[in-house]
């Protein structure tokens, strides 16, 4: 009953407190495993990392909240201004932020290697970490891209043939209302009538279903027959959509990595993404294959111009796709982890086998 009546902010605080309670148990567990390498992985934005040989940081949430709670990159994990929008909220959340910040710094200074999922995430971390601490740990920082195991395979010739989809993901940001998001999608459909605007992704919660319902109603009222909503589909259907996608538009700025735009890119689609995001930082392609928009809140004219340029250009050639595919493959991921483990091992007098992973 308590959990059912909590606000989203309270749920986050409850989850963080729950993590802190488990913090001691995790440390005790790792203490008895000191004869083997330890790897800890943060899978959520509100987790406090635990010191280990290798520690993967999903996002340095508490460092950013401590140093600049209005930093726009907090929109990535759907945090943002809600935490600090009023004095009561600041009083409510600040003690927890201070506690988690202190724990996070203490643990990270004990790590032998600190891993980030993109250069963008590491950039945010370095920007807000105190210089004295950064000097202490700077040589322990690494970017390790998550491997894209289910990437579409096949030969792509970069032609326009059979590519008539403009694809978007359902429910971009919690800060973008269903009405506003639906209007953006409708405007794209109105301006590109020769294309089919396809919305994919997951819509299972009540909030997510609102985005789908608003778009269905607006498209019906405007007579937009070129809007297709294909959410909650299988991987095979999603991959088929990507193979027919001319342009994938990612309306999620400040995303730490970004699996879906990378999947679209490896399927041969051009992508339109925000300039401050993991894929923008780490995939070194220029227009028209990647077009980076800059404004948030979104500027409709900027987005339409970007989509137009992308839609009327050739798609990414197959030789470039193969290079990017290797960069984000499991073999590349394994090589990177092994290299880091070897560095850590050498710095600790060969304490363990560098081929552990």
Residue 157 is predicted with a pLDDT of: 47
| Lowest-pLDDT range of 149-153, 156-160, 322-326 | 156-160
How many angstroms separate the Cα of 316 from the Cα of each of 183, 201, 237, 321, 329? 29, 23, 21, 7, 18
Q: Which two tokens stand for residue 197?
A: 């605007």
| pLDDT of 107 strictly over 80 | yes
Q: Which helix (H) or strand (E) holds 271?
A: strand 270-274
Please give the mean pLDDT across all residues of the chain.
Answer: 85
Give the tens place of pLDDT for each residue, 222-244.
999 999 999 999 999 999 999 99
Q: pLDDT tier at 307 (50, 70, 90 boundaries)?
A: very high
Least confident of 15-19, 24-28, 94-98, 152-156: 152-156
pTM: 0.85
For the residues 107-119, what does the mean pLDDT come to?
Answer: 94
Report which of 55, 263, 46 is spatially closest to residue 144, judged by C-alpha positions. Answer: 55
- How is residue 213 written in tokens? 């319902």
Task: Name every residue whose Cβ is closer than 8 Å to that of residue 91 and which is 6 or more positions away in sequence.
Answer: none
Contacts of 9 (CB under 8 A, 6+ apart): 82, 83, 89, 92, 93
How high is the pLDDT of residue 11?
Answer: 57
Sequence-ordered list of residues with C-beta below 8 angstroms from that of 347, at least 6 positions apart, any chain: 112
Q: How far apart are CA 99 and CA 196, in angstroms?
A: 49
Biggest CA-to-CA distance, the chain: 69
Q: Hey, how many other C-beta atoms are within 10 angstroms of the C-beta on 249?
A: 27
Measuring CA to CA, which residue among 315, 306, 317, 314 is closest to residue 192? Answer: 306
Using CB atoms within 10 Å of the CB of residue 234, give its burial: 0 to 12 exposed, 13 to 18 middle, 19+ buried.
exposed
Output the six-digit token pair for 211: 């985005």
Least confident stretch, 14-18, 197-201, 266-270: 14-18
Residue 353 pLDDT class (50, 70, 90 cuts): very low
Most confident of the following: 45-49, 207-211, 314-318: 314-318
Over residues 104-127, the mean pLDDT reads 94
Residues 146, 336: Cα–Cα separation, whole Å: 11
pLDDT at position 25: 67
CA dihedral 73, 242, 325, 314 (to 10 degrees): -90
Q: Would you state the structure tokens that stand for residue 129, as one six-digit string?
A: 């970490």
pLDDT at 247: 98
8 A C-beta contact, residue 193 and residue 311: no
pLDDT value of position 156: 52
117, pLDDT greater than 50:
yes
Residue of 305, 324, 318 whose CA lies nearest to 249: 305
Task: Give the residue from 312, 337, 235, 320 showing the smallest Cα distance to 286.
Answer: 320
User: What does the buried/exposed string (b/e) look like for 309-343 if buried means 16 or more CB atoms within 10 Å of the residue's CB?
Assistant: ebbebebbeeebbeebbeebbeebbeebbeebbeb
Token pair of 118 as six digits: 């993109």
């Amino acid at each position: 009953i308590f959990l059912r009546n909590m606000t989203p902010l309270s749920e986050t605080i409850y989850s963080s407190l729950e993590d802190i309670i488990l913090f001691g148990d995790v440390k005790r567990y790792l203490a008895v495993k000191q004869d083997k390498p330890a790897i800890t992985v943060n899978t959520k934005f509100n987790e406090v990392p635990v010191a280990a040989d290798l520690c993967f940081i999903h996002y340095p949430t508490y460092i950013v909240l401590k140093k600049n709670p209005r930093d726009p990159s907090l929109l990535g994990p759907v945090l943002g201004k809600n935490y600090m929008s009023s004095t009561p909220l600041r009083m409510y959340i600040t003690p927890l932020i201070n506690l988690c910040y202190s724990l996070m710094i203490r643990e990270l200074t004990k790590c032998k290697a600190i891993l980030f999922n993109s250069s963008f995430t590491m950039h945010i971390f370095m920007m807000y970490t105190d210089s004295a601490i950064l000097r202490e740990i700077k040589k322990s920082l690494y970017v390790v891209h998550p491997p894209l195991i289910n990437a579409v395979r096949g030969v792509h010739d970069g032609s326009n043939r059979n590519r008539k989809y403009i694809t978007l993901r359902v429910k971009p940001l919690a800060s973008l209302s269903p009405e506003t998001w639906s209007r953006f999608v409708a405007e794209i459909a109105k301006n590109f009538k020769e294309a089919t605007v396809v919305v994919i992704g997951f819509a299972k919660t009540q909030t997510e279903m609102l985005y789908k319902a608003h778009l269905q109603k607006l498209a019906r009222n405007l007579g937009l027959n070129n809007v297709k909503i294909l959410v909650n589909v299988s991987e095979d259907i999603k991959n088929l959509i990507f193979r027919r996608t001319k342009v994938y538009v990612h309306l999620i700025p400040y995303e730490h990595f970004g699996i879906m735009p990378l999947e679209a890119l490896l399927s041969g689609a051009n992508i339109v993404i925000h300039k401050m995001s993991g894929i923008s930082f780490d995939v070194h392609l220029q227009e028209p294959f990647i077009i980076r928009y800059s404004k948030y809140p979104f500027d409709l004219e900027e987005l339409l111009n970007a989509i137009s340029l992308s839609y009327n250009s050739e798609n990414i050639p197959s030789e470039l796709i193969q290079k990017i595919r290797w960069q984000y493959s499991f073999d590349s991921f394994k090589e990177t982890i092994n290299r880091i483990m070897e560095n850590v091992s050498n710095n600790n007098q060969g304490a363990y086998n560098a081929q552990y992973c």
